[in-house]
Amino acid sequence: MTYNILILGHSKYPEGTKSFLEFVGGFEEGIETFHISNENPIEKVRTELEAYFAKGEPTIVTCDLPGGSPHVTIVDLLAKKSGNNVLVYAGLSPALMLDITFKARIIGAADHNEMVAYCKEKFENLNRFSMQNIFN
């Protein structure tokens, strides 16, 4: 099972992150972006996201800021849907984004539970090596 990657955020963050993943990881497909800006309000983006998720494809959503408008919007939208294979994260580092994208697009997972476990392990490993833990 492979997952699409959906990058959601403010201004040009999604396009910049997609460009990074394409350049460093060599990804050519399966990455979509949605952004909010003064010209592209969150209400319009929500409508676009509803259409995107109507397809029912397994997707990993990454948002720029935990608790920001894009993050709150996607969590609210998906909370009203049932039976989807979607994971939502916010505030990921570029290294973690790259790692998860390789798993989602290239390596794949046997099922949704495997992908959830993989992401959980990566986050736990990251926390083990945080600066706070290094100096304690």
Rounded CA-CA distance 37/120 in Å is: 31
* Predicted pLDDT at 57: 93
CATH number of 4-134: 2.60.40.1260, 3.40.710.10, 1.20.140.150, 3.40.50.510? 3.40.50.510
Pair 90, 62: CB distance under 8 Å: yes
**DSSP-assigned letter for residue 79:** H
CA 35 vs CA 61, 64, 87, 93, 135: distances in Å: 13, 10, 18, 18, 37
Which residues, given as ranges, of the chain have pLDDT below 70? 82-83, 127-136
The reported pTM is 0.90
* Predicted pLDDT at 15: 98
Rounded CA-CA distance 66/1 in Å is: 27
* Predicted pLDDT at 132: 56
* Predicted pLDDT at 83: 66
* Predicted pLDDT at 81: 80
Pair 64, 13: CB distance under 8 Å: yes
Enumerate residues 6+ apart whose C-beta is below 8 A from 115: 1, 3, 58, 60, 85, 87, 103, 104, 109
